[in-house]
Structure 1
Amino acid sequence: MNFLLPRPGVRALCAAALLSPLAALAADLSLNVAGGPATEATLYVALYDSAAAFAGGKSLAAQTVPLRAGAAQLRFNGLAPGRYALRVFADENGNGKLDTNLVGMPIERYGFSNDAKGNRGAPDFEAAALNVESADLQTAIQLR
């Protein structure tokens, strides 16, 4: 018999006690998006937690929500404190991608957190980054 290991029920209680302070630090990120098309469309939203993920298109989380009257609201729950960036686009023709013209410029509406703008492309992570602390955060993006 090993007297150093607690019984299974006690182990679960100990694990919950250790993890509960981490849950108390989690915050929700609420997003309001405006400037979409007057017709119904789908809004694609991606959340990134690092510059490398943002540059590589590897999102931490993603959501799709309907745009109604050019606007939508959504929420990412339980985020650990840190820096996050959002990338959004309105799929106006229902093909599931951001369409571009022959030179690569978007022809559907798009946006980034902080309403960041890039120079001949997407902005960098730092321009779009939001500081999420232990309190809930509300932000907005105006599609262009």
Structure 2
Amino acid sequence: MHCQNSEDIIMDGYVVPQYGTVNFIVGDMGLDPKVWEDPMSFKLERFLSDENDGKTFDITRSKEIKMIPFGAGRRICPGHALAMLHLEYFVANPVWSFEWKAVDGDDFNMEAKQGFVVTIKKALQANLLPRFWRKLLLYILIFSTF
């Protein structure tokens, strides 16, 4: 995030000089233990909305900002609406259609590996068990035509 201040300011005990730049890592907002209970655990229920009996989700948390996956303001990702439409199809459907089990009973480890981009240190190894055979057959029929 970039902002110019016209005078020296004190922010959280730190002096930010006039026209100084403050940089922060947006991804770290999603790992703040002051905001998230047990931030390194994979808990999808965090994103369930209080509205509609908890049946809707709000990944961008537009009512209370806890993380900013698509940026904000003038520099927000121009494709964020399209990405949200495709998230349901490409992410939610496989999660819904299959039961995911860790290989050999390993726990899913969210520990990060720092590099040019941040990745998961240990890649996810999973056994997928179809929840509904008809749905699986339908997926096979649809995708085998491409």
TM-score range, shorter chain: under 0.3
Instruction: Provide TM-score, normalisation by structure 1.
Output: 0.27
Whose strand proportion is higher, 1 or 2? 1
Query: Larger relative contact order (C-alpha < 8 A, sep ≥ 6)?
Result: 1
Higher helix share: 2
Alignment TM-score, normalising by the size of structure 2? 0.27
